[in-house]
Amino acid sequence: MSIAAPGRVEVDYAGSERLTMNMGPQHPSAHGVFRAILTLEGETVVGVDAVIGYLHRCHEKLSETLTYAQYPSIASKTDYVAAMTSEFAYVRAAEQIGKIEVPKRAQYLRVITSELQRVASHLLWLGTWCLDLGGALGGGATIFLYCIRERELILDLFESLVGARLLYGFYQVGGVRYDLPPGWAKTCRETVDLIDSRITEYERMLEDNPFFMARVQGVGYISRELAEDVGIAGPLLRGSGVNFDLRRADPYSSYDDFQFAVPVETAGDCFARYRVRMVEFRESLKIVRQALDGLPEGPISSRPGLKSVAQTRIPKGEAYARVEGARGEVGCYLIADGSAKPYRMKWRGASFSNLAVLPHIIPGHKVADVVAIMGSVDPVFGEVDR
Amino acid sequence: MTPAQARTLVSERFPAAQIEPPAEGAPVTVTVPPDQWFALARFAKDDLRCRFFSFLSAVDWKDQGLEVVARLDHLDDRVGLMMKTKLGPGVSACPSITPIFRGADWMEREAYDMFGIRFEGHPDLRRILLTDDWEGHPLLKSYAVDTPHPPYR
Amino acid sequence: MSESVMLVLVPFIVMNAVIGIVTYVTLLERKFAARMQSRIGPYRVGPHGLLQPIADAIKLMMKEDVVPTAADKPVYNLAPIVFLVPCMFIFATIPFAPGLGVADLNIGILFFLAISSMEIVGLFMAGWGSNNKYALLSAMRAVNQVISYDLPFIFASLVPVLLAGSLQLGDIAAAQSGLWFVFYPVIGQLAFIAFIASTVAAENRAPFDILEAESELVAGFRVEYSGMKFALIQLGEYTHVLGSSFLGALLFLGAWSGPGPEWLGPVWFLIKAMFVFLLVTWVRWSFVRIRVDQILALSWKALLPMTLLLLLATAFVVVWRTSGGA
């Protein structure tokens, strides 16, 4: 992958000048801190050097100093847009090593919150993607505000459940921390029905619009082979024709109790990934309804009320636990040494692997497509940089 | 291909490899010496058809040296393969598997950044998460033990 | 009043009225967009936000005037003015009521179209004088786009000229006292649609605002402007939009004709112009933007041939009717 070093302008024998342009850490495509050094030949991008690490907080070192009860709240700060699934990977890894049983009610609550979180995350994705495509003063902003309005409903649900809107500490090793307050299930059902009807409206708004279709069809093609080679997962993988969803392939937390479809598209372009996520909206809402209907009674944690550090111990061992986050496979490779804190924790962030595909697919596109492709890859830099 | 078949194939091809005994829910875990690391990756991709590259990282085992860990997946048969190689005390070089899996590119850069492992054969080994002028490799157990923080272990 | 006093007073009144309407048109757009996005829009400054444009104007006037050191000073400073003046000039030929206007030239529409093309010069001067390669690139693209869409704009505007048989805007308005041109079977509607599409693009409004699309990377040609100069550029843009709305209302929607007494004419005119403006704004806040090459392809491959054919068809219709066909 040859790229021009930043600052050097090359003139090749055809006389065309290569311009190095910086899409700096601060730019209005609201995705976080990301720097792409683009090498342009006229209007076409010929090289991308992605510079990341602006949000690096060294979670992996930090986790070695925090107990298994303390870290889940910090884990949400990796993928802060879909915080519930971030915590899920860590607690699953700890439970796998310690062979800790999770009560059925806790498993269902985990499923409900994960799926609601997936819907909220996809709403933010749709809003910000349209914002990138259409501009802060234009049609994109309209869809953005509609999606944020719906996302607020879900965040209100989380607030009444956990007390926090964005970063929770809901998952604990052994179960969950809070139980449903009275009336929550009813509000949840109403919210789910409302969002279901609105998704149809947004689909029509976008897909009946030839401008939108012209912008996203045929753009950013990821082949199946490239997808598996780089290790991207989630809607990106399913948009390139691979039928792989961790909730089906490696069911965890009672996901095999629920009926839902896994959308797969073969086109591999931005439009395919968009279609996958739009179908995922509906499937997640279906799962939430089923989980609410079948919610069993019982305890919410098998290790409630830990009173001392010694009680948080996990026996020696190692495990790699993964969950299907909104962006793909979020994994936690945990090595426990018998004490209350991990020996080593490797966080496999979905967005880190997803972003690694950009230098392979962007060259050849126009500058305006860079933003469309980045939006369809949907990175969250908390996960990329950790 | 089942996990048992995978184990058999690996042990036939790599007699020097240590394979963990089968356990519930655990992937096929194979430990090879560093000189067979590249060959194992090639074997896993071409013969075992484990084409999905999940992650690559390292662990610092203090006196016993560094260990490089990678995970591959066979998506259709749902088989996970965990590859490990112990570099030995004082050694911080390892063959790169970027020519085989393009996803190893950024993962190896991160392992270099955090542990100081030089991957031979990597096309562009430079720091990825930290700034280029950073000194030291943070995830090593010997890093910053004298700072007034909760004790790193 | 003497002739010379009228000659100065009328344009002065018209210019001030136009600036006044333009400032409140910005508030109208913000409120309209807000309602579309299920929010309220400016609300606090004055009752229901009615003093918001005044507050914005005062803020912009009080801002520090920052000029880049390496900028080409004369070009940089003159650009907003060169951009604004043609935009205001277009109001000279528009009659607001039969006989009421600054100058109802007998080549009215030709003057309008010619003058409105001159803002491209101001736009390019702004991009060049900023000494900023991104401003220059975006200005070059904007010039490309405006020139491409001026042609369909002209041809679509010529359809009512053919139907009315005169270049004078007063005559075109008067010719619609029976049937508004937009209701003309097929030709009228197609011409109106082509007019709206090319006016949206010629004014750099979304979904053809590649000027602002640079915001995804950097800001457009006005990146180096702040304070009053920026206010002049914004004023110029909105004046142009308003001018095109007035033109659209005059060419297609019958200008001042409407039920009620004579003196209600200008009010109807304003209402129709606002309708055209809101149509353009509605499009702006609903669509995502398309790429540069797609915009230019749309103009040269679709809109231009369509308006040419439309003009030809109109010519045939006019000849057929005047030669006595039923």
Q: What is the pLDDT of residues A312-322, one digit of tens each?
A: 788 888 899 99
Q: Does the pLDDT value for residue C11 go beyond 50?
A: yes
Instruction: Report which of A253, A255, A249 is spatially closest to residue A237, judged by C-alpha positions.
Output: A249
- What pLDDT, on the 0 to 100 scale, is given for residue A272? 92
Confidence of residue C114 (pLDDT cuts 50, 70, 90): confident
Residue of A28, A209, A366 with shortest CB distance to C215: A28
Q: What is the pLDDT of residues A219-254, one digit of tens each?
A: 888 888 898 888 898 899 999 988 888 888 888 888
Does C127 or A138 have the greater pLDDT score?
C127
Please tell me the CATH code under which domain A59-385 is placed.
1.10.645.10
Q: CA C145, C146, C150, C156 torsion: positive or negative?
A: positive
- What pLDDT, on the 0 to 100 scale, is given for residue A29? 60
What residues of C are in contact with residue A134 (Cβ under 8 Å)?
206-207, 287-289
User: What value does the mean pLDDT take over residues A194-208?
Assistant: 89
Picking from A78-92, A305-319, C244-258, which range would have the lowest pLDDT averaged per residue? A305-319
Give the count of alpha carbons within 13 A of A114, CB side only. Answer: 29
CA distance C83 to C95: 23
Task: Mention every residue, 6+ apart, whose C-beta is less than 8 A from residue B17.
Answer: B10, B11, B30, B31, B32, B36, B40
Q: How far is B8 from chain A (nearest CA, A)?
A: 22
B73 DSSP β-pair partners:
B52, B80
CA distance C13 to C268: 20
Q: Does the pLDDT value for residue C55 go beyond 70?
A: yes
Residue of C38, C210, C290 with shortest CB distance to A214: C290
A221 touches chain B (CB under 8 A): no
Chains that touch B (3 or more CB pairs under 8 A): A
CB A334 within 8 A of CB A321: yes
In percent, the amount of chain A with pLDDT more than 70 equals: 92
CA distance A272 to B60: 41
Q: Are A and B neighbours with ≥3 CB pairs closer than 8 A?
A: yes
CA distance C162 to C320: 13
Q: Does the pLDDT value for residue A45 go beyond 80?
A: yes
Nearest Cα residue in chain B from A62 = B152
What residues of C are in contact with residue A369 (Cβ under 8 Å)?
291
Q: What is the pLDDT of residues A112-163, one digit of tens each?
A: 999 999 999 999 999 888 888 876 666 677 888 889 999 999 999 999 999 9
Q: What is the pLDDT of residues C100-112, one digit of tens each?
A: 777 778 888 888 8
Q: Does the pLDDT value for residue A345 go beyond 50?
A: yes
Chains that touch A (3 or more CB pairs under 8 A): B, C
Residue with tokens 């070009």: C75
CB C232 within 8 A of CB C84: yes
CA distance A120 to A83: 10
Q: Does the pLDDT value for residue A15 go beyond 60?
A: no
Q: How far is A351 from chain C (nearest CA, A)?
A: 21
Nearest Cα residue in chain B from A357 = B103
CB A314 within 8 A of CB A38: no
What residues of A are in contact with residue B52 (Cβ under 8 Å)?
228, 231, 244
List strands edge to edge, sheet with A342-348. Answer: A317-324, A329-336, A342-348
Q: Does the pLDDT value for residue C170 go beyond 80?
A: yes
CB A20 within 8 A of CB A43: no
CB C200 within 8 A of CB C192: no
Q: What is the pLDDT of residues A247-306, one digit of tens each?
A: 888 888 888 888 888 999 888 889 999 999 999 989 999 999 999 998 888 888 887 777
Instruction: Report which of B1, A132, A180 is spatially closest to residue C212, judged by C-alpha positions.
Output: A132
Among residues 88-107 of chain B, which lie with CB inside 8 Å of chain A? 101-103, 105-106
- What pLDDT, on the 0 to 100 scale, is given for residue A8? 42
What residues of A are in contact with residue B69 (Cβ under 8 Å)?
333, 346
Does A291 or C170 have the greater pLDDT score?
A291
A348 touches chain B (CB under 8 A): yes
List strands edge to edge, sheet with A44-51. Answer: A18-23, A35-41, A44-51
Chains that touch C (3 or more CB pairs under 8 A): A
Among residues 366-385 of chain A, which lie with CB inside 8 Å of chain B? 385
| Mean residue pLDDT across chain C | 84
Q: What is the pLDDT of residues B66-84, one digit of tens each?
A: 999 999 988 888 888 899 9
Does C65 or A16 have the greater pLDDT score?
C65
Model pTM?
Answer: 0.86
Q: Does the pLDDT value for residue A100 go beyond 70?
A: yes
Q: What is the pLDDT of residues C184-212, one digit of tens each?
A: 788 888 889 899 888 888 877 767 776 66
Confidence of residue B149 (pLDDT cuts 50, 70, 90): low
The pair of three-digit structure tokens given for residue A242, joined into one six-digit string = 């691979």
Confidence of residue A2 (pLDDT cuts 50, 70, 90): very low
Q: Answer yes or no: do C37 and A142 touch at CB < 8 A.
A: yes
Nearest Cα residue in chain C from A44 = C293
A336 touches chain B (CB under 8 A): no
Q: Does the pLDDT value for residue B131 go beyond 70?
A: yes
Q: Answer yes or no: do A319 and B55 touch at CB < 8 A.
A: no
Instruction: Report which of A58, A51, A57 is spatially closest to residue A33, judged by C-alpha positions.
Output: A51
User: What value does the mean pLDDT take over residues A98-117?
Assistant: 91
Radius of gyration in angstroms for the set of CA atoms belonging to chain C, rounded to a whole number: 20
User: How many CB pairs (< 8 A) connect A and C?
Assistant: 94
The pair of three-digit structure tokens given for residue A191, joined into one six-digit string = 């919210």
Q: Answer yes or no: do A138 and C212 touch at CB < 8 A.
A: yes
Instruction: Report which of A262, A266, A298 is spatially closest to residue A282, judged by C-alpha positions.
Output: A262
Strands B66-74 and B52-60: antiparallel
Residue with tokens 């786009």: C145
Q: Does the pLDDT value for residue C177 go beyond 80?
A: no
Supply the ipTM of this predicted assembly.
Answer: 0.89
Give the count of alpha carbons within 13 A of C107, CB side only. Answer: 5
Q: Please provide residue B56's backbone torsions phi and psi, each rounded to the nearest 5 degrees.
A: -140, 135
User: What value does the mean pLDDT take over residues B18-32?
Assistant: 83
Structural element, H or E, at residue A324: strand A317-324
Residue from A142, A152, A216, A370 whose CB has the most chain C CBs within 10 Å, to mutate: A142
The pair of three-digit structure tokens given for residue A283, joined into one six-digit string = 């499937």
- What pLDDT, on the 0 to 100 scale, is given for residue C216? 52
Confidence of residue A190 (pLDDT cuts 50, 70, 90): very high
In angstroms, what CA-CA distances link C237 with C60, C84, C114? 16, 8, 17
What residues of B are in contact with residue A101 (Cβ under 8 Å)?
none
Question: DSSP state, A181?
Answer: P
User: What value does the mean pLDDT take over residues C147-161?
Assistant: 88
A360 touches chain B (CB under 8 A): yes
Q: Are C and A neighbours with ≥3 CB pairs closer than 8 A?
A: yes
Residue from A95, A222, A344, A384 whose CB has the most chain B CBs within 10 Å, to mutate: A344
The neighbour count for residue C273, using CB atoms within 10 Å, is 25
In percent, the amount of chain C with pLDDT more than 70 equals: 95
**What is the residue extent of each domain of chain A?**
59-385
Q: Answer yes or no: do C288 and A21 touch at CB < 8 A.
A: no
DSSP, collapsed to helix, strand or coil, labels residue A68 as: coil
Q: Three-state secondary structure along chain C?
A: CCHHHHHHHHHHHHHHHHHHHHHHHHHHHHHHHHHHCCCCCCCCCCHHHCCHHHHHHHHHHHCCCCCCCCCCHHHHHHHHHHHHHHHHHHHHHCCCECCECCCCCCCHHHHHHHHHCCHHHHHHHHHHHCCCHHHHHHHHHHHHHHHHHHHHHHHHHHHHHHHHCCCCHHHHHHCCCCCCHHHCCCHHHHHHHHHHHHHHHHCCCCCCCHHHHHHHCCCCCCCCCCHHHHHHHHHHHHHHHHHHHHHHHHHHCCCCCCCCCHHHHHHHHHHHHHHHHHHHHHHHCCCCCCCHHHHHHHHHHHHHHHHHHHHHHHHHHHHHHHCCCC
| Mean residue pLDDT across chain B | 86
Residue of A53, A230, A320 with shortest CB distance to B102: A230
User: What value does the mean pLDDT take over residues C291-312?
Assistant: 87
Give the count of alpha carbons within 13 A of C15, CB side only. Answer: 13
B21 touches chain A (CB under 8 A): no
